[in-house]
Amino acid sequence: MQGKIASLWQHLRQQPLHKQLRLLRWNAPMIVLALAALHQLFVQTVIRPRNSPVGWWLEVLVYAVTGSIVAWWGLTYIARNAAKQSETEQELRKAFAELEDSHKKLLALDRLGQYIASAPNEDEVYKVAVQAPTELVGAKAATLVTFDEDQQTLNLAMAWGLSDDYAQAFRNYLGEGVAAERCRTCSTLHAHVDGDCPLFVGVADAARQDGVQSLMCLPIHTDQERIGILTAYFPSADGPKEEQAHLLNILGGVIAFAVDSLRSRERQMEALHSLDDASRTHKSLSELASQTLQTAIMGWKAQAGAIFLYDEALDQWVCLSQQGLGDFSSARFGFAQQLAQQAFADQSIIIRALPARQSHDLRSAAALPLLSEGEAFGALFLGTKRPQGLNPQHADLLQTFAHQIALALRNAQLSQELQQTAMLRERYRLAREFHDGLAQTLGYLGFQLERVDRLLQKGQYEKVERELPEMRQVVRSAYMDVREAIEGLRLRWDDPTRLAENLENYVEDFAFQTGIDVTFTAHPEELMAPAEVSLQLLRIAQEALTNVRKHARADHVDVQLSLAEGWLELRVSDNGIGFPATSSQTDDRTSGFGLTSMRERAESIGGQLSVMTGPDRGAAIIVTAPVPAEASYELIDVSRETTPNLVEEGR
């Protein structure tokens, strides 16, 4: 029995408290019965067989001693276990309180992180960040120190919780020019007030008076560069505890990421604005590609980039512009072209994180198709040496940027094609005009010179004198044709939308050069029109007045310009001989290129050309053209001071 009790006792002591209580609860009756049996055995075998007169008293004494021992043992055991239970409960409460405090701090850190991440600018980030150490880890105060533009000295950007005396002393100390080199490279990040930390040297006395004994620095990095330090000040010499330091390190990472994101976003938005400005300028395709690529590289701080276009007619790729790729045989160029062709084929953006030690030495890259009307015509490639320099978070902004580049390049391509087409048309017009005008005139003069030569050989000087005035008139007319052709090539207007003003100026020049009386009227007087419409109407007026000079034999021309219900009307009428009958045409006004050219110009702007004439009744050239509904021009009588604003809005 004793062995069983000892074994039970030993087993009981090895169990946790809650199991001890449970075993005692279930085994208490057996223990009591065992102790009672031992007591009874002792009484029956030792005391009662002696038949001593004091046996009764001995039995009572044994009962008293054993009962006291059992009671003392039981109460001691219960008290000891109760104390252990109380101690365990206190430890649990303390651990729970610490866990709850850590949870609150983590929630506060998460809240601060979300606010910092959504801050609209760096100042807002810094304003929240400088208050965070006091809230998260109970720091006494905090400061934000930045480096000046040349990274040489320290600047106090913000302070929180410092006394006025300490803050003023710290500001004066930094104002003397504290070197930033140590703070830019420091890795200790914890310092005592009596140490040699640059943030304590010179203000140690003020720090002690303010109750500051130590500090912890949180470096703020962007693009692998330290741009500032968030410093938390503590009243204890040991600084923050391990878990507090861990929270502060997390806070520093959140601040650095937010500042880096804000600066990247600012660069990228500036790149978009620069790209928009570049697309508005009239540049060649190659110049525009170089400028847009440079803008993209600056926006994402890339080390390499290229714009590739696919020539469908030749079935080959053309590198319109590249930077940082090396020559065509380099590994980086080959990788860029491969990724660009893949994005072109898939018509989707590709962003890749690249492993280290690649032959092209890039750690992240992106390729974006250049789309126009749903069809890809090229691709943009960007590559950086930073692992997260280009990541999926940039996808939307990269897509927008690629769309802007595609629009700018496509417009430049179309503009270049239009310029080439316009050049060919103008050459064709000049060829036909010279053929119909100058070439025939020179042929006629050659024929007349031969005739004059024969007359001179025959001595018929009177006939020669009669031929010379006509030849002078033909030469004068040829000179006017050439001059008008040259003026037509040089004809430019600073603001082609000022249709009425430009046409009035040209009419005045025409009247001065030819001596023909010209009347010009416009309604409204300051009538404006989109540039393309205005240019074509001016050219038509030029052709019509040229025909008047060459063929009409008129001494008066009436030029009218008017706007009614969204239609522009140009009317050029003269009091000349009109168009002769077909049977009598020799140098009529309908056989030359002028009328054909005017009709083509009118049709190019959606208008119509009408000719009203007859023998000996003059002629009228009438052109009607619609004003595009999408144009924001207000074709009303406005002052010259407000016109530039209207033109700018129209563009």
pLDDT class of 149 with cuts at 50, 70, 90: low
Give 381 or 598, the one with higher predicted confidence: 381
HEC string of 73-120 equals: HHHHHHHHHHHHHHHHHHHHHHHHHHHHHHHHHHHHHHHHHHHHHCCC
What is the location of CATH 3.30.565.10 in the chain?
493-651
Q: Each residue of 198-225: pLDDT tens digit? A: 888 889 888 999 999 999 888 887 665 7
Q: Which of 301, 296, 303, 302 is nearest to 320 (CA)?
A: 296
Q: Please report the DSSP string for 497-553 in residue order.
A: T-HHHHHHHHHHHHHHHH--EEEEEEESTT----HHHHHHHHHHHHHHHHHIIIII-
> Residue 311: beta bridge partners?
316
H helix or E strand, kind and range, residue 127: helix 122-129
Lowest mean pLDDT among 50-54, 320-324, 419-423, 539-543: 50-54
Beta-bridge partners for 126: none
Which residues share a beta bridge with 11? none
Which among 184, 182, 176, 181 has a CA at the least distance from the CA of 197?
Answer: 182
| Tokens 């005045």 sit on residue | 508
Backbone torsion region of residue 60, taken as left when φ is above 0, otherwise alpha when ψ lies between -120 and 50, otherwise beta: alpha
Which listed CATH number (3.30.565.10, 3.40.50.10490, 3.40.50.300, 2.60.120.460) goes with 493-651?
Answer: 3.30.565.10
Beta-bridge partners for 371: 376
What is the C-alpha separation between 126 and 361, in angstroms, rounded? 35
- The 10s digit of each residue's pLDDT in 278-288 is 555 556 777 77
Given a contact cutoff of 8 angstroms between Cβ atoms, the answer to whether 556 and 524 are in contact is no
Strand 556-564 and strand 517-523: pairing? parallel
DSSP state of 237: T
Give Cα 40 distance to the centre of its chain: 97
- How is 270-314 classified by DSSP, letter by letter? HHHHHHHHHHHS---HHHHHHHHHHHHHHHHT-SEEEEEEEETTT
Strands 608-613 vs 619-626: parallel, antiparallel or unpaired: antiparallel
Please check whether residue 574 is in contact with residue 511, taking contact to mean a CB–CB distance below 8 angstroms: no
> What is the distance between the alpha carbons of residues 501 and 520, in angstroms, rounded to a whole number?
11
Superfamily of domain 119-266: GAF domain (3.30.450.40)
- Asked whether 574 and 618 are in contact (CB, 8 A), the reply is yes
3-state helix, strand, coil in the chain (%, to 5): 60, 20, 25
Give Cα separations from 193 to 155, 205, 291 (angstroms). Answer: 20, 9, 53
Q: Are 495 and 535 in contact, with CB atoms under 8 Å apart?
A: no
Question: Can you tell me the mean pLDDT for 461-465?
Answer: 79
The per-residue pLDDT for 367 is 93
pTM score:
0.42
Residue type, 491: L
Residues 135 and 251 sit within 8 Å (Cβ to Cβ): no
Question: Does pLDDT of 31 surpass 80?
Answer: no
CA pair distance 399, 405, nearest whole angstrom: 10
Residue of 202, 191, 262, 268 whose CA lies nearest to 231: 191
CB 121 within 8 A of CB 262: yes
Q: pLDDT at residue 519 above 80?
A: yes
Burial (CB count <10 Å: 0-12, 13-18, 19+), residue 105: middle
What does the pLDDT average to over 270-284?
A: 57
Burial class from Cβ neighbours inside 10 Å (0-12, 13-18, 19+) for residue 138 reads middle
- Taking the C-alpha atoms of residue 237 and residue 214, their distance in angstroms, rounded to an integer, is 5
- The half-sphere exposure of 88 on its side-chain side, counting CA atoms within 13 A, is 9
- Confidence at 645, pLDDT banded by 50, 70, 90: very low
pLDDT tens-place string over residues 223-251: 657 778 889 999 988 888 877 777 777 77
pLDDT (0 to 100) of residue 518: 93
* Residue 213 near residue 192, CB atoms below 8 Å: yes
Strand locations in 361-469 (E): 364-372, 375-384
Identify whether the C-beta of residue 385 lies closer than 8 Å to the C-beta of residue 362: yes
The letter for the amino acid at 602 is: A
Q: pLDDT, tens digit, for every residue of 562-597?
A: 998 888 999 999 998 887 655 444 444 444 456 777
CATH topology of domain 281-490: Beta-Lactamase (3.30.450)
Q: Name every residue whose Cβ is closer than 8 Å to that of residue 206 and which is 6 or more positions away in sequence.
A: 165, 166, 169, 170
Q: Residue type for 592, please?
A: G
Helix (H, G, I), strand (E, B) or coil at 313: coil
Residue extent(s) of CATH 3.30.450.40 domains in the chain? 119-266, 281-490
